[in-house]
Structure 1
Amino acid sequence: MAEAVGGAARLVPAAVSVLALALLGACGDDEPTAGPTGGTGAGGAGSAAGDVPFELVTTDDLAVSPDGGRLLADCWDGRCTWDAATGELAQEPDGSSVAVAPDWSTVARVDDGDVVLVGLEDGEVVQTLRGLADAEVTDGSPVSAVAYSSDGALVAAAGLDGSVRVWSVDDGSEQAAFTAAYAPQVLAFSPDGALLALAGGGPVEVRDLDDGEAVATVGDSGRNGALAWTPDGRHLVGPGPDEAPTVWRLPGLQPVDELSGVRLHEAAVAPDGRTVAVTAFDTTEVRLWRPAALGRPGRARTLRGHTGEPGAVAFAPDGATVWSVAADDGVRGWDVRSGGPTTAYDLPVGPDR
Structure 2
Amino acid sequence: MDPQSTFDEELEAFAAGLRALRLERGKRSYRELAARAARSGTAIRLPVATQSDAFRGRRMLGFDTLMGLVRILYSYDTYGQEIAVPPHSAPELEQWRRDWRALAARQPATPRGPKATPAPDPGGREAPSAEALFTPVHRLPEHPDTTWSAAFSADGRLVATTCEDERVRLWNTATGKEWGEPLPGTFPVVFTPEGRILVVDAESRSAVRPYDVATLLRDGPGLTGGVPPIRAMVHEPDSGAVALLGFDGGVRLWDPAIGDHGVPFPPGPDGPCALTRTVDGHLLAAGPGGEVWDLLQGRPRVQAPLVPPLDGAGVMALSPDGRTVAFGRPDGSAGLLGTRPGGPVRPLRGHRDTVNALAFSPDSRLLASSSADGTLRLWDTRTGLPAAPPLTEHSGAVNGVAFSPDGRLLASASDDRTVVLYERVATAPASTLASRALTTALRARRPVQLPPLHVGGSAIRTAFSPFGHQVLATTTSEQSVVLWDPVSGQALGPPLTDPPTLPWALTFSPDGALLATASAGGTLCLRDPLLPMSFRTIGTGHTDKVERIAFSPDGQLMATAGRDATVRLWDPATGHPFGAPLTEHTNEVVGLAFSPDGVHLASSDANGQVILWSGHRRTPVRRFEGVGPGAAWSVAFSPDGTRLAAALADGSVRLWDPLTGQPLGGSATSHTGPAYDVAFSPDGDLLASAGKDGAVLLRDPATGARLGHPLTGHTGAVNGLAFSPDGSLLATAGRDGTLRRWIVGAG
Q: Which TM class, normalised by the smaller chain length?
A: 0.5 to 0.7
Structure 1 contact 186–198 (Cα < 8 Å) conserved: yes
Bigger mean CA deviation after superposition, 213-222 or 70-79: 213-222
Q: Aligned equivalents of 2:380 and 2:264: distance in 1?
A: 36
Where 2:326 maps in the other structure, the secondary structure is strand
Q: Deviations over 1:280-308 (max 9, x none)?
A: 22x222112123348xx655421121122
Aligned: 1:123 with 2:224: no
Which residue of the partner structure matches residue 265 of structure 1?
356
After superposition, the CA RMSD in angstroms is 3.7
Aligned: 1:284 with 2:377: no
Which runs of no fewer than 5 residues in structure 2 stay unpaired? 1-29, 31-47, 57-134, 428-747
1:73 deviation in Å? 1.0
Q: Deviations over 1:298-340 (max 9, x none)?
A: 554211211221121122333233221113241112333269x
In structure 2, relative to structure 1, the CA distance for the partners of 1:149 and 1:302 (3 Å cut) is same
Q: Aligned equivalents of 1:100 and 1:132: distance in 2?
A: 18
In structure 2, relative to structure 1, the CA distance for the partners of 1:302 and 1:100 (3 Å cut) is same
Residue identity in the other structure for 2:200: R
Q: Aligned equivalents of 1:245 and 1:101: distance in 2?
A: 28
Q: Please give the residue correspondences for 1:169-184 in structure 2 after superposition, counting only pairs within 5 Å.
A: 169=256, 171-174=258-261, 176-182=263-269
Where 2:390 maps in the other structure, the secondary structure is strand
Which runs of no fewer than 5 residues in structure 1 stay unpaired? 1-25, 134-141, 340-353
Match of 1:148 among 234, 239, 244: 234
Q: Please give the residue correspondences for 1:89-104 in structure 2 after superposition, counting only pairs within 5 Å.
A: 89-90=178-179, 92-97=181-186, 98-103=188-193, 104=195
Which structure: larger Rg?
2
Give me the TM-score of the superposition, normalised by structure 1: 0.67
1:196 deviation in Å? 1.2
Point out which structure has higher relative CO (alpha carbons under 8 A, 6+ apart): 1
Aligned: 1:64 with 2:152: yes
Structure 2 contact 150–400 (Cα < 8 Å) conserved: yes
Give me the TM-score of the superposition, normalised by structure 2: 0.34
Match of 1:275 among 355, 366, 378: 366
Match of 2:419 among 326, 331, 337: 331
Q: Deviations over 1:183-217 (max 9, x none)?
A: 86943134132421245xxx554223334557343
Structure 1 contact 167–174 (Cα < 8 Å) conserved: yes
Where 1:182 maps in the other structure, the secondary structure is helix
Q: Aligned equivalents of 2:306 and 2:250: distance in 1?
A: 20
Q: Aligned equivalents of 1:69 and 1:255: distance in 2?
A: 38
Q: Deviations over 1:143-189 (max 9, x none)?
A: 34241135373222345654322221455242633332328694313
Q: Aligned equivalents of 1:117 and 1:260: distance in 2?
A: 39
Structure 2 contact 150–402 (Cα < 8 Å) conserved: yes
Aligned: 1:206 with 2:292: yes
Q: Aligned equivalents of 1:101 and 1:219: distance in 2?
A: 32
Match of 1:188 among 275, 285, 294: 275
Q: Aligned equivalents of 2:309 and 2:343: distance in 1?
A: 12
Structure 1 contact 78–92 (Cα < 8 Å) conserved: no
Structure 2 contact 205–230 (Cα < 8 Å) conserved: no
1:87 deviation in Å? 1.0
Residue identity in the other structure for 2:364: G
Which residue of the partner structure matches residue 126 of structure 2?
none
Which residue of the partner structure matches residue 157 of structure 1?
244
In structure 2, relative to structure 1, the CA distance for the partners of 1:144 and 1:65 (3 Å cut) is closer
Q: Deviations over 1:239-259 (max 9, x none)?
A: 279552321212438344221
Q: Aligned equivalents of 1:91 and 1:123: distance in 2?
A: 11
Aligned: 1:252 with 2:341: yes
Structure 2 contact 395–416 (Cα < 8 Å) conserved: yes
Q: Please give the residue correspondences for 1:8-157 in structure 2 after superposition, counting only pairs within 5 Å.
A: 28=49, 32=53, 34=55, 43=141, 55-56=145-146, 58-59=147-148, 61-75=149-163, 76=165, 78-90=167-179, 92-97=181-186, 98-103=188-193, 104-110=195-201, 112=204, 114-121=206-213, 122-130=216-224, 132=226, 142-151=228-237, 153-157=240-244
Q: Aligned equivalents of 1:273 and 1:195: distance in 2?
A: 15
Structure 1 contact 289–301 (Cα < 8 Å) conserved: no
Q: Please give the residue correspondences for 1:290-305 in structure 2 after superposition, counting only pairs within 5 Å.
A: 290-293=380-383, 299-305=387-393
Q: Aligned equivalents of 1:193 and 1:161: distance in 2?
A: 23
Q: Aligned equivalents of 2:258 and 2:217: distance in 1?
A: 18
Residue identity in the other structure for 2:335: T
Structure 1 contact 188–197 (Cα < 8 Å) conserved: yes
In structure 2, relative to structure 1, the CA distance for the partners of 1:114 and 1:308 (3 Å cut) is closer
In structure 2, relative to structure 1, the CA distance for the partners of 1:276 and 1:328 (3 Å cut) is same
Q: Aligned equivalents of 1:151 and 1:128: distance in 2?
A: 17
Structure 1 contact 239–264 (Cα < 8 Å) conserved: yes
Structure 2 contact 413–419 (Cα < 8 Å) conserved: yes
Q: Aligned equivalents of 1:37 and 1:286: distance in 2?
A: 12
Q: Aligned equivalents of 2:269 and 2:399: distance in 1?
A: 23
Structure 2 contact 401–412 (Cα < 8 Å) conserved: yes
Structure 1 contact 224–243 (Cα < 8 Å) conserved: no
Structure 1 contact 163–183 (Cα < 8 Å) conserved: no
Structure 2 contact 167–185 (Cα < 8 Å) conserved: yes
In structure 2, relative to structure 1, the CA distance for the partners of 1:185 and 1:193 (3 Å cut) is closer
Where 1:217 maps in the other structure, the secondary structure is coil
Residue identity in the other structure for 1:332: V
Q: Aligned equivalents of 2:208 and 2:400: distance in 1?
A: 23
Which residue of the partner structure matches residue 23 of structure 1?
none
Where 1:179 maps in the other structure, the secondary structure is coil
Q: Aligned equivalents of 1:160 and 1:267: distance in 2?
A: 16
Q: Aligned equivalents of 1:217 and 1:314: distance in 2?
A: 27
More helix by share: 2
Structure 2 contact 251–272 (Cα < 8 Å) conserved: no
Residue identity in the other structure for 1:291: T
Bigger mean CA deviation after superposition, 67-76 or 121-130: 121-130
Aligned length: 289
Structure 2 contact 328–335 (Cα < 8 Å) conserved: yes
Which residue of the partner structure matches residue 403 of structure 2?
315
Structure 2 contact 249–267 (Cα < 8 Å) conserved: yes
Q: Aligned equivalents of 1:42 and 1:179: distance in 2?
A: 40
Structure 1 contact 28–302 (Cα < 8 Å) conserved: no
Q: Aligned equivalents of 2:182 and 2:306: distance in 1?
A: 41
Q: Aligned equivalents of 1:279 and 1:33: distance in 2?
A: 24
Residue identity in the other structure for 2:356: H
In structure 2, relative to structure 1, the CA distance for the partners of 1:241 and 1:218 (3 Å cut) is farther
Where 1:258 maps in the other structure, the secondary structure is strand
Bigger mean CA deviation after superposition, 258-267 or 149-158: 149-158
Where 1:335 maps in the other structure, the secondary structure is strand
